[in-house]
Chain A
Amino acid sequence: MRITPLEYVTADNLSQAVELLDSAGPQAAVLAGGTDLVLNLKKKRACPCILVSLQAIDGIDRICLENGMIRIGAMATHDRLARHPLLREKADILCQAAGLIGSWQIRNAGTIGGNICNASPAGDALPPLLALDAAFVTAGTVGETVISARNFFTGPGQTRLPSGHLLKEIRFPCPPANAAGCYMKLRRRKAVDISIAGVAFQAALNEEGTQVASAGIALGGVAPTPVRVPGAEDLITGRSPKEALENARAIGAACVAAASPIDDLRASADYKRTIVNVFAQRCARHVLTTLKEKGKPQ
């Protein structure tokens, strides 16, 4: 499978990258890990005239904690996310999801920025990012914009990334020590499979460890975009983990209500709804039980 001849530029820095994108307009494509783009070039589903590679930009794959915010450079690979000690400690839900993407080979090349910008409804990193209340920092020639993950996705493959911009960084408030998260996805095989339906469930206790202070619940693969489920979050926040656990069935029902799956070759809409219900309840039990343990006086 050959690729149509095209130009390739390795940007030395971010401003050069955005200038190149700006001057080339829609003819240009941003090359991150290439696991989707190169495949699309091979299949002639994408035919840009110029590729702007971000891989040489210093610090664009940095993962750090600064002023209470976790910051992840868009070029960080899935494998790095899955294993990163800071993320494992503070936002394990993202590590769980990143570790379930594709094969080891794909995780070594594919990036979180690519996963976000390709905006597959089934993208594994997306529901956890919604649940963590992430925001995306995009860069263009006239400066940066910050777009909430909740508002970023508009349809399959469609986002609010401003034209001429590239995604630079993902940020979210660092969850406190008494937080827990869980991502579950349905797939036909134990590894290397696309998500048929996914549930991300993140919650944190208040400082006293008595009540759930915040919750983020999001679904993937069951709507044109990943969706957050405020109706399910309301059943948890302001309650003790024990009380919240009693709402597990209602949480499942709220998630089903927020899903609008379609019948496709992977599963029927009905089956996806059933799975959302089951996984939402399993996630709720797992996270809330963990929080119950964490909330106990030491």
Chain B
Amino acid sequence: MTLPPLHIIVNGEDHHLMVPANRILLDLIREDLALTGTKEGCGLGKCGACTVLLDGRPVHACLLLAHQADGCRVDTIEGLADPAGTTLHPIQEAFVEKGAIQCGFCTPGMINTAKALLDENPTPTEDDIKLAIAGNLCRCTGYHKIVDAVSACACGSGKGECHG
């Protein structure tokens, strides 16, 4: 049995690819599409570094076979800033401004989870934020500055950066 070509829409761009059944979505993103912003941490679905948005919802790219994303939208960190690459997304700006990035390895996954949270709930409480990012481990920041950065993107945070 031959597998039909995989159709995925990565950061708004259609891809029709011949992909073996045992290909992990994360490897497809990083190796086949050369989008290395998505990181491999544990590879076991525990650390959240590989978080991408599948049809807008955060998932572990390391625990999905590429073919499970057939017909789906996949958004990675590369698709977040404006396409010209000159302006960062407000969430990215907030992470920079609040010092929510240290080594940066967890940042793409963390920002993707934050994006999904703010898309569905533009006014999250601190607890909402902590619960949403519970599956994204950061070993540098102690999380306070990350929560600050996501809070700063919430509607009514007074920063005029109402997102979503």
| Residues of chain A at the chain B interface (Cβ within 8 Å) | 1-10, 31, 34-35, 38-39, 41-42, 51, 53, 55, 79, 102-106, 108-109, 190-192
Contact = CB atoms under 8 A, between A and B. Distances in A.
A108 B58 contact: yes
Interface in B21-71: 21-22, 24, 43-46, 48, 51, 54, 57-60, 63-65, 67-68, 70
Contact of A108 (B22, B44, B59, B134): B59
B135 A192 contact: yes
Contacts of A35: 45, 60, 63
- B: interface residue count bin: 20 to 34
Nearest to B117: A104
Contact of B57 (A6, A34, A79, A190): A79
Do most interface residues of chain B lie in helix, strand or loop, or is the interface mixed? mixed
A5 B3 CA distance: 13
A102 B68 contact: no
A108 B116 CA distance: 12
A68 B21 CA distance: 41
B68 A55 contact: yes
B135 A102 contact: yes
Nearest to A9: B1
B63 A8 contact: no
B64 A10 contact: no
A103 B21 CA distance: 26
30 contacts: A3-B22, A3-B65, A4-B22, A5-B20, A5-B22, A6-B22, A8-B3, A8-B67, A31-B68, A34-B64, A35-B45, A35-B63, A38-B64, A39-B45, A39-B63, A42-B43, A42-B44, A53-B68, A102-B135, A103-B48, A104-B116, A104-B132, A104-B134, A105-B45, A105-B58, A105-B60, A106-B45, A106-B63, A106-B135, A108-B54
A34 B22 contact: no
Contacts of A51: 21, 65
Nearest to B70: A10
B133 to A, nearest CB: 8
B113 interface: yes
Contacts of B59: 105, 108-109
Interface of B: 1, 3, 20-22, 24, 43-46, 48, 51, 54, 57-60, 63-65, 67-68, 70, 113, 116, 130-132, 134-136
Chain A contact residues, majority secondary structure:
mixed
A295 to B, nearest CB: 32
Contact of A8 (B48, B54, B65, B134): B65
A10 B6 CA distance: 12
B60 A191 contact: no
A5 B131 contact: no
A3 B134 contact: no
B57 A39 contact: no
Nearest to A55: B68
A102 to B, nearest CB: 7
Given A4-B22, A108-B57, A191 B63 contact: no
A297 to B, nearest CB: 36
Contacts of A108: 54, 57-59
Contact of B51 (A7, A31, A105): A105
Contacts of A106: 45, 60, 63, 135
- Most A CB within 10 A of own CB, among B20, B65, B67, B132: B65
A72 B83 CA distance: 41
Contacts of B58: 104-105, 108
Nearest to B4: A10
A94 to B, nearest CB: 19
Q: Which 5 A-B pairs have the closest CB atoms?
A: A103-B135, A8-B21, A191-B134, A3-B22, A108-B57
